Amino acid sequence: MPKLLQDPQKAGKPTLVLYDLRDDNRRTRVMNACKDYGLARWQYSAYHGRLTGAARRELETRLEKAMGSSPGLIAILQMEQWQLDNATLISQEAEGD
């Protein structure tokens, strides 16, 4: 198991990372960076979890390097708990799952 770069016991703000990158290698780097900071996959190109301010800045730097000059987008959204509490999530499991 890889060592997390942020202590999961530290309370941070809810954070959502969304990305849309064409290059498979760069997508993998972004995915690994999110996992290294203890974020959980929400859907294919979205991760969520809690990050302290310092951890968020470190992750931003790492994601910027991972993206390089490739076309695409990475959005790091720091949220307040009330925004998650008031969010509407609509989901449906695929048949057979």
Return binding residues for Mg(2+): 20
Task: Output the known binding site.
Answer: 20
User: CA–CA separation, 25 vs 11, rounded Å?
Assistant: 31
